[in-house]
Amino acid sequence: MIKEIVVTPELEAMQKLVPTLIDRANAFEVDTDQQYEKGSQVLGYLKTQATNLEKLRLHFKQPILESGRRIDTFFKTLTAPAKESICIVDEKMSTWWRIKEEKRQKALELAQIAERDRIKAEEERVRIQNDMEKEGIEVEEEDLPPLPPAVVVPETTQASSTSIRKTWSYTIQDADKIPRIYLVQSNKLIMQSIHDGVREIPGLEIFQEISHTKKRK
């Protein structure tokens, strides 16, 4: 349970000040050079208050962060073996599933071949039977070619308490052969080029944003 925040005199002063900042900012107008110069002072004041608020926030949050780090450190020694054990069993089950699935796929291929052979054998049986009947010969089963036996395809291996989740992944074998379309754009490289003076890059719109920062004394 998170403890209630104790309102210190400093925090109480900020609680009274902050609600007035938006009104002050809205009331301030920049329509002359003098006002623009004054704006730097107003901006500095507002940023100082924002900095003070951030310091207060960290002051109240720091004990919670330290407590959280201690909890994380304590449970890491417990959760790490638990997660590792999950990976071990999962990998063993996955290996077995792949073995069974490979056998099932081979059986499926054989079944497809057997089905094509069965269809051909049935067509041949019909042809022979028709020819014999046309000649007035009574057709017996032994006169017809046998049908190939059906291949039984095993069902997909499935444990009662788990489900199979298939995901694709990859490993890089030769980076030089990867098509450029799959290369991730490097923000660091782009920004470095812009800082070096590049103003036109195909596929990008380069523009300059304006903001004001407080001067350091």
Predicted pLDDT at 138: 83
Q: What's the pLDDT at 54?
A: 92
Is residue 75, in this structure, part of any structural domain at all?
Answer: yes
| Residue 94 placed within a domain | yes
pTM for this model (two decimals)? 0.49
Which pLDDT score, from 0 to 100, does residue 217 have? 61
pLDDT for the residue 214: 60
The percent of the chain in helix, strand and coil, each rounded to the nearest 5, is: 65, 0, 35
Domain count, the chain: 1
| 152: its two tokens | 């039984």
Q: Please, is 215 exposed, middle or buried when counting C-beta atoms within 10 Å of its C-beta (0-12, 13-18, 19+)?
A: exposed
Please give the Cα distance from 206 to 185 (Å, whole number): 15
Is 181 inside any structural domain?
Answer: no
Query: How many helices and strands in the chain, by DSSP H and E?
Result: 3, 0
| The pLDDT value given to residue 170 | 73
Q: Is residue 18 part of a domain?
A: yes
Mean pLDDT, contiguous 10-residue spans, the chain (217 residues): 74 90 90 90 89 90 89 89 86 88 88 87 87 83 80 79 77 78 74 88 85 65
User: Residue 146, by phi and psi: left (phi above 0), alpha (psi -120 to 50) or beta?
Assistant: beta
Give the residue numbers spanning the domain of 108.
Answer: 9-151
Asked, for residue 30, whether it belongs to a domain, the answer is yes
- Domain-located, residue 107: yes
Q: Are 107 and 132 in contact, with CB atoms under 8 Å apart?
A: no
